[in-house]
Structure 1
Amino acid sequence: MTGFREIDGAVAGEHGVDHFGDVFREQRRLASGHALAPLDDRTVIEVAGPERLGWLDSITSQALGRIAPGESTELLVLDPQGRVEHAAGVLDDGSSTWLIADAADADGLATWLQRMKFRTQATVELRPDLALLGFVDGGTAAVRATDAAARPAGTALVWADPWQRVSVGGHQYAVIAEHPGADLAWRVAIVTHEAADALAATLGAEDLAGLLATEALRIAAWRPRWSAEVDERSLPHESDWIRTAVHLDKGCYRGQETVAKVHNLGHPPRRLAALHLDGSDAVLPSPGDPVFAGDDEVGHITSAARHHEDGPIALAILSRRAPVGDLVVRADGGDIAAAQQVIVPADAGSVADIPRLTRLSRRPSAPDPRHAV
């Protein structure tokens, strides 16, 4: 989407346009539904063929066998031990299933899907000819993006992020009356590069938001992402991703045994937390910066941003046994005090609610006289 990079004020970063001049203004405009965000950091994969949905259902964490045209969801690909390997948003239009993946993950996901096809009547194709525009529903940005995504032979391809609520078959570990994700009606329109560049020619910096703004809204909503919150150890439970990306009641798929075991019989070894950082310093931590409780290292930063309302914020993966209180982030510029807000509690999973049988080696205790008949 070269057109957006040429707009006055555009500042390009490693993965796309970071901002268009004023990050906080962009966040406010984006949150209100009046700014579009070119998402050069994501890639589209098209899966076509009559057996595509049943096949994807059988090899991923999400129930896709009966997804309706126009319906949106998301999926994870897990390894045999239940660890997250790939992630993607899912939109079906009745003839193709469109996967939206982080750019760094797209090649790996497409290659894995190709290897898993066997004799399935399905095709897998990376679509570098397509671009992605992010926006929050309800404002002028939705009209512009939907018009750009319109297709001659069908409805516009617009993915609705399911993070606003717990999906059917999902489960939320966060114990909170009002989840911050409920307020983020995030949408992603799939458009041709030609349509994106034509739209860019009609817009100014005041109509746009960069990747720094989209990340700030995502972090504030506690929304996990493959390129940030996933490492070689990640289980979906740890970042509350079962909320929208895992169907706990569907049939067998790779990694399902671990998903069920951790959910029903144990606790995830790590947990995602939201951090409100001391804003008196200009330093913002980087992904990978260690988090300490006293002298003990208890985790690391996965994402950080400056939010237009909340100030400096971050997501961190912590040890399950990390204390719930205030923490310290050790960044290059010095230590940063961090107030912790629990997302995934230490007792996530159902182990505390499952009655345990008395061990056979134990002698039965005397009956409680209060229960005597």
Structure 2
Amino acid sequence: MSEPVAPAVPSYRSPLLERPGAVPVEGIDSGVAWHYGDPVGEQRRLEAGQARADLSNRGVIRIAGPDRLTWLHSMTTQHLSGLAPFTSTEALLLTPNGHVEHDLHLVDDGSATWITVEPGTAGELVAFLQRMVFMRRVEVADVTADWAVVGEAVDSESTGEPLAWRDPWPDLAVGGALYTADEIEVAGHPEWKWREVLIPRAEFEQQVAAGEFDGAAGTWAVDALRVAAWRPRHGFETDHRTIPHELDWLRTAVHLEKGCYRGQETIARVHNLGRPPRRLVMLHLDGTMNELPAPGATVLNGEREVGRVTTAARHHELGPIALAVLKRSTPPDVQLLAGGVEAAQEIVVDAAAGPSADVPKIRRLPQG
């Protein structure tokens, strides 16, 4: 598996990096803080809903016009036509071969559709979308310069709440399918409550200056909670060959009963006739090691390379953990070596998952 390639991130520096003790992130998330001097405390406060995370480097796209939802419906993996105002959903934009190209965090406010995307990718995505407008009544704009994103461990959404995308993970969306083992769903999937609040950038900077983010959490905290919830992230758990089945992404981001879209043939073929070639796992890492495996580090079964680490983190309760993508044939009970660190697997995507007969039935849209 090829090491994930970070997109070109425009030069950006959050005002929160001026706080004493702020340590900047390197790589995809550059421009915001990795932590502010207390990563474990930040993580606990974030999980408890007592802190916010600076995601102001994320891209923000606004799409207006009466055809916006049916137009997006025709191109993405999600059922978007008729999406109710202030209902959050997740959609993927795939290559013609079915590989994940963009992950769209999407909410419509009744007059426009708002999408947040990975840092440095909004310009490329907007350019593509504008080429696909044709005769549709839509207006696509990159509004990253005007809007900032803030993350919170809150999952509520209503017309009384601020404009925000609520992450549907790990709920099974209508039309989706589960690629986890039955016993996981019976015992209970790890919890993940998360939303991305959109704030006018001028207002965000005013809030920072007024000290309203003095208890902020860095990306260390966000990654630790995300890994513990088995939540895949584009650019981290993905590479140029990733198909959604490998990451259990049919759970929230793919509707299996909608019309044609780019890459649909691969989605249907693998789901109905085959099995994904790789599977997502969570690794429990040897806690005696001081260093975490780097993203892209090789995972070995004995001397055989079986996959790559995608995200590693230190969780305040679980200790050192990581997400990794392995070959489907890797035995689930073997001890692995992840970037030189001993690791035990916790299965996320079941090696038997694939044909629809082997996974829970999809949820259907209500009739009428």
2:238 aligned to 211, 215, 230, which one?
230
Q: Secondary structure at the match of 1:120?
A: coil
For the 8 Å contact 2:273–2:354, the answer to whether it is kept is: yes
Deviation string, structure 1 residues 19-78 (Cα, Å, up to 9, x no partner): 111101000000000001110341111111110000000000000001111000011011
Provide the C-alpha distance between the structure 1 equivalents of 2:107 and 2:213, rounded to a whole number of angstroms: 29
CA distance in 1 between partners of 2:120 and 2:237 (Å) = 13
How far has the Cα of 1:203 moved from its partner?
3.1
What's the counterpart of residue 267 of structure 1? Answer: 275
Q: Give the Cα separation in 1 of the matches to 2:178 and 2:276.
A: 14
Paired residue for 1:137?
A: 154
* C-alpha separation in 2, matches of 1:166 and 1:306: 28
Map 1:12-161 onto structure 2 (within 5 A). Answer: 12-14=24-26, 15=30, 16-127=32-143, 128-137=145-154, 156-161=162-167
> Deviation string for 1:140-162 (max 9, x for gaps)?
xx99xx9xxx9xxx962111001
Q: Which residue of 1 aligns with 2:342?
A: 337
Letter in 2 for 1:6: E
**Residue 9 of structure 1 aligns with which residue?**
21
Q: Is structure 2 residue 170 aligned with structure 1 residue 170? A: no
Match of 2:365 in 1: none
Q: TM-score, normalised by structure 1?
A: 0.86
Cα 1:42–1:179 change in 2 (3 A) is farther
Question: Any idea what the Cα deviations from partners look like across 1:178-199, whole Å, max 9, x if unmatched?
Answer: 4444x22101100011111222
Q: 1:111 and 1:202 mapped to 2: Cα distance? A: 36
Task: Find the residue that maps to 1:57 and give its secondary structure.
Answer: helix
Shift of residue 7, structure 1, vs aligned partner: 2.2
Partner of 2:226: 218
Aligned residue runs from structure 1 range 188-267, under 5 A: 188-203=196-211, 207-267=215-275
Contact 1:47 1:125 in 2 (8 A): yes
What SS does structure 2 have at the residue aligned with 1:301?
strand
Deviations 1:121-146 (A, max 9, x none): 111111121100001117xxx99xx9
Q: Which residue of 1 aligns with 2:308?
A: 300
Q: Does 2:313 correspond to 1:313?
A: no
Deviation for aligned residue 1:206: 5.8
Q: Distance in 1 between matches of 2:276 and 2:142?
A: 34
Q: More deviation in 308-317 or 108-117?
A: 108-117
Shift of 1:164: 3.2
Identify which range, 302-311 or 101-110, moves more after superposition: 101-110
Gaps of 5+ in 2: 1-12, 360-368
SS in 2 for 1:82: coil
- Residue aligning to 1:348: 353
What percentage of aligned pairs have identical amino acids? 47
- Whether the 8 Å CA contact 2:176–2:256 is kept in 1: the answer is yes
Q: What is the CA–CA distance in structure 1 between the aligned matches of 2:332 and 2:211, rounded to whole Å?
A: 46
Q: What per-residue deviation string (whole Å, max 9, x for no partner) do you get for residues 209-261 of structure 1? A: 01111111111111111120111100000000000000011111111111011
**Corresponding position of 2:332:** 324
C-alpha separation in 2, matches of 1:316 and 1:327: 14
Name whichever structure is richer in helix by fraction: 1
Distance of aligned partners of 1:117 and 1:205 in 2 relative to their CA distance in 1, 3 Å threshold = closer
Q: Which amino acid aligns with 1:251?
A: G
**SS of corresponding position for 2:271:** helix
Q: Which amino acid aligns with 1:22?
A: D
Instruction: State the match for 1:367 in structure 2.
Output: none
Is contact 1:17–1:210 with CA below 8 Å preserved after alignment?
yes
Post-superposition shift, 1:8? 2.6
1:111 is displaced (CA, Å) by: 1.8
Structure 1 residue 9: deviation in Å? Answer: 2.3
Q: Supply the RMSD in Å over aligned alpha carbons.
A: 2.1
Q: Which runs of 5+ in 1 are unaligned?
A: 355-373
- TM-score, normalised to structure 2's length? 0.87
Match of 2:4 in 1: none
**Cα distance in 2 between the residues matched to 1:302 and 1:53:** 33
In structure 2, C-alpha distance between the alignment counterparts of 1:2 and 1:225, rounded to whole Å: 21
Q: Read off the aligned partner of 1:341 and give its amino acid letter.
A: E
Q: Distance in 1 between matches of 2:92 and 2:124?
A: 13
- From the superposition, tell whether residues 2 and 255 of structure 1 become closer, same or farther in structure 2 (CA, over 3 Å): closer
Post-superposition CA distance 1:263-303 (Å, at most 9, x none): 11110011111101001010100111010111111000111
2:325 partner letter: I
The alpha carbon displacement at 1:325 in A equals 1.9
* Secondary structure of the corresponding residue to residue 261 of structure 1: helix
Task: Provide the C-alpha distance between the structure 1 equivalents of 2:290 and 2:214, rounded to a whole number of angstroms.
Answer: 26
| Distance in 2 separating the partners of 1:330 and 1:73 | 33
